[in-house]
Amino acid sequence: MENIKKLLQSHGIRPSLHRIKILQYVLHSHDHPTADTVYADLHPQIPTLSKTTVYNALNLFADHNLVTAMRVGAEQRFDGTVGPHAHFLCSRCLRIYDVSLSANLDDMAPAGFQVDQAMVLFRGVCRRCLGASAPPQ
């Protein structure tokens, strides 16, 4: 919890209990949660937490590059991994998986352009939904 507090402070964000818990949740989640998911999971532990607080905190974190916000269909999802990587969205179970990139993003950018952020999204059917016929990772 102290590390999260310091991380928030280093980005100029006041580390309230709500913000610490919300950021901790997203950083430790591999499911790329929505704000509603974060709220539903944290509210039993923090009864004073409101959906507005969760939405505001997540957007603040995204503005300060602590998390990545990404739109998937009608949903806004949040990713605690902010370094270069891609995503795979399963069209059956709607899970989002992190995918390593084999190429340097700078090498993929158009010449003469400054890229501040890149989002690569693969869509298809995940190994889990394909069942036993899928090759191992």
CA distance 98 to 61: 19
Cα dihedral 85/42/3/23 (nearest 10): 40
pTM (2 d.p.): 0.82
> Per-residue pLDDT for the chain (137 aa), expressed as one digit of tens each?
789 999 999 999 999 999 999 999 999 998 899 999 999 999 999 999 999 999 999 999 999 999 999 988 889 999 998 888 889 999 998 899 999 887 676 777 788 888 777 788 899 999 999 984 545 54
CA distance 66 to 60: 9
2-79 has which fold?
Arc Repressor Mutant, subunit A (1.10.10)
Contact 23, 65 (CB under 8 A): no
CA distance 68 to 66: 7
Q: Where are the domains of the chain?
A: 2-79, 86-133
Residue 112 pLDDT:
86
CA distance 11 to 9: 5
Residue 57 pLDDT:
98
